[in-house]
Amino acid sequence: MIKKISITTRSRAEFIDITSKVQDFVKESKIRSGACQIFVPHTTAGLTINENADPSVKHDILNRLERLVPFDGDYSHTEDNAAAHIKSAIVGTDKTIFIEDGEMKLGTWQGIFFCEFDGPRQRNIFIHIAGK
């Protein structure tokens, strides 16, 4: 089963919690035991799993990434988004989460975040669920 989710980002860089969207698809799939793969087909975006209880965590991550890879750095790429490509390469564009008893096996404080590094844009996320 594959599902496409489309989202609209509103900032140049932001994290959007997509946990509930993914969990809804897991429930809809009726898979009791298996895996959920999430993929972002964009070279200037990514996915991460991290704490979703305290919003300051996502701000800290975005701020640290900006310090490591500033938007206005000295880059050869001429489209003015080289930093976004580098951040996407660091964070990654896919995640796999196990499913047990029809639920994703995330930790108590974990959430799934779409990571925008070159917005605002319309973005797609693909979710594949396999199992029994």
In tens, the pLDDT along 2-33 reads: 999 999 999 999 999 999 999 999 999 999 99
Q: What are phi and psi of 89, to 5 degrees?
A: -65, -35
pTM: 0.96
DSSP string, 61-91: HHHHHHHHS-TTS--S-TTS-HHHHHHHHHH
pLDDT digits (tens, 9 = 90+) for 103-126: 999 999 999 999 999 999 999 999
Band (78; pLDDT cuts 50, 70, 90): confident
Domains delineated in the chain:
2-131 (2.60.120.460)
Answer for the pair 16, 119: CB distance below 8 angstroms, yes or no. no
